[in-house]
Amino acid sequence: MQKATFLALIRLADDHLILGHRLSEWCGHAPMLEEDLAMPNIALDLIGQARALYSYAGEIEAAGRDEDALAFGRIEREYQNLLICELENGDFAQTMLRQFYFASFMLLLWEQAQRSSNTILAAIAAKAVKEAKYHRRHCGEWVIRLGDGTDESALRMQAACAVLEPYLAEFFQVDEVVLEMSKNSILPDPLSLRAAWLADVCEVFGAAKIAPPDLSHAHKGGRKGRHTEAMGHLLAQLQYMQRSFPNMTW
Amino acid sequence: MVDLQARQAWAAAAAVLDPEVPAVTVADLGILRSVEIDVNGRAIARVTPTYSGCPAVLAIELAIEVALIKAGFDPVIERVITPAWTTDWITEQGREKLRAYGIAPPVMGSSSKRALFGDVVVACPRCAGQNTSKLSEFGSTACKAHYRCNTCLEPFDYFKCI
C-alpha cells in the first residue's frame, strides 16, 4: 500500500516536473511577451506542485531521499511520467494543445483528489485545483483562437492534433498502482475521468472547429519507465547541475 | 502573560511586507495564518503560499523569522497548505492598499471558466474607470494579470482571483 502510494505520487510528480521543464524552455522564445510570461508562470505552478508531491513521496519512502534527490537523482528508467509530458514542444500551437489536454485532465483529477482519504494529498489537490482551472482556461482559449483563427493557425492546430493524438490514451491507462489507489479512495481511477475529459475537450474543439480526438491507438510505456528519445535529452539538461555538483545548493 | 506575548509576536510577524508587492503586509494578504507561543516559549508562525510555485515563499518565511527574532522571540516557521489560500483572505485594508499602490484588487468570485472573453469587470485602480481590457492572463508575478484602462489609457496589474 505505501509502495503503491509512493509510486502514484512519483508518477504525478514526474508528470508535473517534466512538463514544467518543457514549458520553461519557452522562456524568452514565446511569440509574444504575454505568452512569454504565461508559460513560465504555468511552469512555476507545475514545478511547485511537483515539489509538494516529491517531498511527500520522500517522506513515505522514508529512505532519506528529499525532493531534490527524487527530482534530479534518478536515471531515465526510474521516471514514470506520461510520454506526452516529455515530447519536444513543437510550435506554439502544439505546446498550447498539450497544455490544454493536460490541464483539463488534471483539473478533473485534482477535483476528485480533494476528497482523498489521504489528507496530505487532499491538501495538495485543493491548492492545485485552482491553478489547473486557470491553466485550462488560458490554454483552452488558445486552442479555440488558433483552431478557428487564420488558415495558417488552423493548419498548425490540426498538425498539433495529429502529433499528440497517439499519446492521449496513456492518460487513462489502468494498472495495479492505479487500482490500489482507487480502491483505497486515495486517487481516482483515471479511466473514470475519461468521459468528462472527452466532453471538455470536445466542447473546446467544437468552438475551435476541430474534429474530436481518436483515442483508439496509444503509445504507452511512460508509467513503466520506458521513454521516447526526447527524454534523455531533456534529463541531460534538467539534471546537469546536480550531476556535475552533487548535493549542490544555491 | 502568554496571551500578551502571542499578541506581540503576531504584531511583529504581521508587519512584514510582501517582497513582491511591498505595499501590503503578509497579514493583509492573508498568508500569515497564525502566530502562537508554544509550551516551550517558542513563537510558532504558520504561513501559507499563494501559489504552489510562488518563488517568494522562502523569502517571506525568512523575513518573518527575522522579524520575530528581532522582536526577541525564538521562532519556528511552519508552512501550511490546507485550507488552500484564496484571494478572499486579502483583508479590506489590504485591498485598499493594493488599489492605492496601482494594483486592482481581485474581483470577488470572478474565477469563472471563460472569463477571458470578458464577463468580469476590473475597475482601473487609478481612475476607477470600468472600461478596461485584459492584455495578459499572466503578469509580472504568479498572482497577477495585466490590464489596460481604456479611459485613462494607463496599463495596470490586476491581482487575479483564485
10-residue stretch averages of pLDDT, chain A, 250 residues long: 95 98 96 91 95 97 95 97 98 98 98 97 95 95 97 98 98 97 97 98 97 94 97 97 89
A138 touches chain B (CB under 8 A): yes
Domain ranges of chain B: 2-85, 91-159
When the pLDDT of each residue in chain B is averaged and rounded to a whole number, the result is: 89
Residue A250 lies in a domain: no
| pTM, to two decimals | 0.90
Residue B25 per-residue DSSP state: B
Q: In this prediction, what percent of chain A has a pLDDT beyond 90?
A: 95
SS3 percent helix, strand, coil of chain B, rounded to 5, is 30, 20, 50
Please name the member of A37, A47, A52 whose beta carbon is closest to the beta carbon of B136: A37
| Residue A1 pLDDT | 79
The class level of CATH for B2-85 reads alpha beta
Please name the member of A51, A128, A137 whose beta carbon is closest to the beta carbon of B116: A137
| Residue B109 pLDDT | 57
What are the Cα distances from residue B79, in Å, to A121, A145, A162, A194, B108? 15, 40, 43, 35, 26
| Burial class, B82, CB count within 10 angstroms (exposed 0-12 / middle 13-18 / buried 19+) | middle
User: How many contacts (CB atoms, under 8 Å) link A and B?
Assistant: 81
- Name the 3-class secondary structure at A130: helix
Structural domain containing residue A145 = 2-211+219-244
Residue B140 or B94, more confident: B94
The edge-to-edge listing of strands for the beta sheet with B75-79 is: B32-37, B43-47, B75-79
Radius of gyration of chain B (CA): 18
The letter for the amino acid at A132 is: A
Question: What confidence category does residue B53 fall into, taking pLDDT thresholds of 50, 70 and 90?
Answer: confident
Per-residue pLDDT for B116 more than 70? no
Count structural domains, chain A. Answer: 1
Mean pLDDT value of segment B19-36: 94
| Residue A207 pLDDT | 97
Residue A249 lies in a domain: no
Which residue's C-alpha cell is 489590504? B94
Grid coordinates representing B128?
A: 476607477
A62 vs A16: CA distance, rounded Å:
22
Contact assessment for residue A41 and residue B142, using Cβ atoms and an 8 Å cutoff:
yes
Chain B stretch 48-77, residues whose beta carbon is closer than 8 A to a beta carbon of chain A: 49, 51-55
The Cα of A158 is separated from the nearest Cα of chain B by a number of Å equal to 23
pLDDT by residue (tens digit) across A68-117? 999 999 999 999 999 999 999 999 999 999 999 999 999 999 999 999 99
Please name the member of A38, A122, A127 whose beta carbon is closest to the beta carbon of B52: A127
User: What backbone phi and psi angles, to 5 degrees, belong to B155?
Assistant: -75, 150
Please name the member of B53, B146, B160 whose beta carbon is closest to the beta carbon of A48: B53
Residue A51 lies in a domain: yes
Mean pLDDT value of segment B90-117: 78
Residue A237 lies in a domain: yes
Name which of B144, B109, B61 is nearest A38 in CA terms.
B144
Residue A34 lies in a domain: yes
Residue A71 lies in a domain: yes
Contact assessment for residue B18 and residue B97, using Cβ atoms and an 8 Å cutoff:
no
What are the Cα distances from residue A53, in Å, to A58, A132, A220, B79? 9, 15, 23, 15
Write out chain A residues lying below 8 Å of B51, CB-based: 44-45, 48, 131
Contact assessment for residue B89 and residue B25, using Cβ atoms and an 8 Å cutoff:
no
pLDDT by residue (tens digit) across B71-97? 999 999 999 988 889 999 999 999 999
A193 vs B30: CA distance, rounded Å:
34
The Cα of A33 is separated from the nearest Cα of chain B by a number of Å equal to 9
The Cα of A123 is separated from the nearest Cα of chain B by a number of Å equal to 5
CATH number of residue A165's parent domain = 1.20.1260.10
A230 vs A85: CA distance, rounded Å:
10
Cβ separation A126–B82 shorter than 8 A: yes
Per-residue pLDDT for B54 more than 90? no
The Cα of A52 is separated from the nearest Cα of chain B by a number of Å equal to 8
Radius of gyration of chain A (CA): 17
Please name the member of A44, A133, A138 whose beta carbon is closest to the beta carbon of B53: A44
Contact assessment for residue B67 and residue B34, using Cβ atoms and an 8 Å cutoff:
no
Which residue's C-alpha cell is 519507465? A225
